[in-house]
């Protein structure tokens, strides 16, 4: 099945539910370690495997991190309670999940996206994670599984579920929201925001309506979105599917749908009728949670700059309003948390355009390695490039080596790699040779065929094995053309 045709004449409406695991040392209701990737069932105790007689005790640090998220999303932090969400599933140690229901800790906030649009935050509440179920069988699929294994290391890991208003109008905006939210979660220190490790999980509520309509259509909840790419593809697919249903005279059924990444489509998981009745009721084993004004004030005061603040700081460094390209670079640098690196280079005197470009491109391409790159090495490299001691090509090569080695002296590396600046008289001589060898092209260039500038630059680079400075070559070519 191919993706249905487009959605012209229709508006897509999306609300996102984002679960994020909190970066606490211990679990939400017991003292077990909160860690990813350990041997199965080593971080467990009577509480998080739900042994009879065990009782939950709320982790204060988890509350603090949840409050940071609430503050960063401009939520009201309110007196709240915990509730039990009852359903049977083997990964659910007590066969109920302790969550917040009618009285969440954080409510009524908003998130502003880089394009200036605002998405309302309905609530950001606390809850515990479930264990992890692995079906074991020939195909690895549930239907043919021989048996299942449960790992309760994740059982009781603290989560905050952030529910947006249905304010999102496209897959691209959903992506921007998820990206911005991720940046905020990381900036608050509440979460590492890793979608691929499941520490940030996104479900999308998608509906469509005729353009101009103010009533919402019937929504479907799409699950299993394990990357931003999945999020975008799934929303686009699902909106198009619903439009096709409606244009074909059908009605959209409210249901939960599963995104199949390899097939590129959503499939019905369960209908509204099959949905669980969770029988929520107040959790009698916990007391109400009502952070006082002083605690809220401490959390607010301790909050560092959010991604929007950090983008504004880089834009300030540029001096004027950023161009679209520069805004993209700033966004990339901030999203990947590279702004400290870039700022350090700027403070060392690197040109802001160059620092942003290298940060948003070459460094961003190896964001994990960038975490180990000392700001001093990066700043020194940019100084060499802007001072003409290294060409752009050479500079990028040295940067790659710096990232690979986790730092070092760029001057020594450049020497080791055989890079040295080309003296300008050498450039003149090389250019003489190149022009002589390509007389036809040269006369066409002189007659105004500008695109041949690239041809001559490439030829000079080839002759100098990349040592020439691209800018100097361009300047010399223009000077000689007159």
Partner 1 sequence: MSSALSLAGEVRAGARSARQVADEALAAVAADDDELRAFLTVLADEAHRQADEVDAAVAAGRDPGPLAGVPVALKDNLCTRGVPTSCGSRILEGWRPPYDATVVTALRAAGAVTVGKTNMDEFAMGSSTENSAFGPTRNPHHRGKVPGGSSGGSAAAVAAGFVPLALGSDTGGSIRQPAALCGVVGMKPTYGRVSRYGLVAFASSLDQIGPFATSVEDAALLFDVLAGHDPLDSTSLPSVPEPSLPGVHGGAEGVRVGVCRDLVDGCAPDVVARVHEAADALARAGAKVDEISVPEFRYGLSAYYLIAPAEASSNLARYDGVRYGLRVEAEDAAAMNTATRTAGFGAEVKRRIMLGTYALSAGYYDAYYAQAQRVRTLVMRAFDRAYETVDVLLGATAPTTAFDLGAKVDDPMAMYMNDVCTIPSNLAGHPAISVPFGTGGDGLPVGVQVLAPALGEATMFRVARVVEQHAPATAGVGS
Instruction: Name the residue among 194, 237, 252, 213 with its Cα closest to residue 22.
Output: 194
Please state the closest distance from residue 96 (CB atom) to partner 1, in A.
5
Instruction: Name the residue among 154, 129, 127 with its Cα closest to residue 286.
Output: 127
Q: Between residue 148 and residue 207, which ones bind partner 1 under the rule CB under 8 A? A: 148, 150
Please state the closest distance from residue 283 (CB atom) to partner 1, in A.
8
Contacts of 217 (CB under 8 A, 6+ apart): 13, 207, 208, 209, 242, 246, 252
Please state the closest distance from residue 375 (CB atom) to partner 1, in A.
44
Please state the closest distance from residue 173 (CB atom) to partner 1, in A.
33
Could you tell me how many residues make up the chain? 482
Alpha carbons within 13 A on the beta-carbon side of 39: 1
Number of amino acids touching partner 1 (CB under 8 A): 29
Closer by beta carbon to partner 1, 51 or else 365: 51
Of 3, 35, 54, 175, the residue at the interface with partner 1 (CB under 8 A) is 54
φ and ψ at residue 265, rounded to 5 degrees: -150, 165
Q: Judged by CB under 8 A, which stretch of 84-92, 203-211, 298-306, 325-333 contacts partner 1?
A: 84-92
Please state the closest distance from residue 94 (CB atom) to partner 1, in A.
5
Of 53, 319, 387, 482, the residue at the interface with partner 1 (CB under 8 A) is 53
Q: Between residue 272 and residue 301, which ones bind partner 1 under the rule CB under 8 A? A: 277, 279-281, 284-287
Range list of H helices, 93-223: 171-188
Please state the closest distance from residue 205 (CB atom) to partner 1, in A.
20
x/- map, 7-46, partner 1, by CB under 8 A: ---------------------------------------x
Please tell me whether residue 58 binds partner 1 under the rule CB under 8 A. Answer: yes
User: Quick one: how far is CA 190 from the chain centroid?
Assistant: 15
Q: Look up tokens 């004449």; give the residue.
A: 9
Q: Between residue 85 and residue 124, which ones bind partner 1 under the rule CB under 8 A? A: 86, 88, 90, 93-96
Please tell me whether residue 373 binds partner 1 under the rule CB under 8 A. Answer: no
Residues 287 and 127: their CA atoms lie apart, in Å, by 15
Closer by beta carbon to partner 1, 94 or else 123: 94
Please state the closest distance from residue 30 (CB atom) to partner 1, in A.
9
Q: Between residue 131 and residue 150, which ones bind partner 1 under the rule CB under 8 A? A: 148, 150
Please state the closest distance from residue 29 (CB atom) to partner 1, in A.
9
Alpha carbons within 13 A on the beta-carbon side of 319: 4
- Edge-to-edge strand order for the sheet containing 10-21? 76-77, 106-112, 118-128, 158-164, 10-21, 200-210, 220-225, 255-260, 265-271
Sign of CA dihedral 342, 346, 347, 349: positive
Residues of this chain that interact with partner 1 (CB under 8 A) are: 46, 49-58, 84, 86, 88, 90, 93-96, 148, 150, 277, 279-281, 284-287
């Amino acid at each position: 099945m191919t993706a249905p045709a487009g959605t012209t004449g229709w508006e897509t409406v999306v609300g996102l539910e984002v679960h994020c695991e909190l970066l606490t040392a211990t679990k939400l209701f017991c003292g077990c370690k909160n860690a990813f990737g350990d041997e199965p069932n080593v971080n467990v105790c009577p509480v998080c495997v739900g042994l009879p007689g065990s009782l939950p005790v709320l982790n204060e640090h988890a509350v603090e991190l949840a409050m940071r998220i609430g503050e960063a999303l401009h939520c009201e932090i309110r007196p709240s309670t915990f509730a039990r969400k009852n359903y049977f599933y083997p990964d659910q140690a007590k066969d109920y999940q302790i969550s917040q229901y009618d009285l969440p800790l954080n409510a009524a906030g908003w998130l502003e996206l880089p394009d200036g649009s605002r998405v309302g935050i309905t609530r950001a509440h606390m809850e515990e994670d479930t264990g992890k179920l692995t079906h074991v069988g020939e195909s690895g699929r549930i239907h043919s599984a021989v048996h299942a294994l449960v790992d309760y290391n994740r059982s009781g890991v603290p989560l905050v579920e952030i529910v947006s208003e249905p304010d999102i109008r496209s897959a691209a905006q959903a992506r921007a929201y998820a990206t911005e939210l991720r940046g905020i979660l990381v900036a608050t220190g509440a979460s590492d925001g890793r979608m691929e490790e499941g520490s940030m999980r996104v479900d999308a509520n998608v509906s469509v309506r005729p353009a101009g309509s103010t009533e919402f259509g019937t929504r479907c909840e799409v699950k299993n979105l394990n990357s931003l790419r999945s999020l975008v593809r799934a929303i686009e697919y699902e909106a198009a599917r619903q439009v096709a249903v409606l244009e074909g005279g059908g009605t959209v059924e409210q249901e939960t749908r599963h995104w199949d990444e390899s097939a590129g489509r959503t499939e019905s998981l369960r209908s509204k009728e099959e949905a669980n009745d969770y029988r929520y009721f107040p959790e009698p084993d916990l007391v109400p949670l009502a952070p006082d004004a002083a605690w809220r004030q401490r959390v607010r005061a301790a909050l560092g700059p959010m991604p929007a603040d950090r983008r504004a700081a880089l834009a300030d460094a540029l001096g004027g309003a950023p161009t679209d390209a520069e805004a993209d670079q700033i966004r990339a640098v901030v999203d990947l948390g590279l702004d400290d690196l870039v700022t350090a280079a700027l403070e060392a005197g690197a040109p802001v355009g160059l620092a942003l470009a290298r940060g948003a491109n070459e460094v961003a391409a190896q964001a994990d390695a960038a975490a180990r790159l000392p700001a001093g090495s990066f700043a020194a490299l940019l100084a060499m490039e802007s001072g003409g001691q290294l060409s752009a090509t050479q500079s990028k090569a040295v940067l790659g080596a710096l990232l690979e080695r986790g730092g070092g002296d760029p001057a020594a590396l450049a020497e080791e790699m055989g890079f040295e600046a080309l003296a300008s008289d050498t450039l003149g001589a090389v250019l003489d040779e190149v022009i002589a060898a390509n007389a036809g092209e040269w006369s066409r260039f002189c007659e105004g065929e500008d695109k041949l500038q690239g041809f001559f630059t490439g030829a000079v680079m080839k002759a100098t094995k990349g040592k020439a400075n691209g800018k100097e070559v361009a300047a010399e070519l223009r000077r000689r053309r007159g």
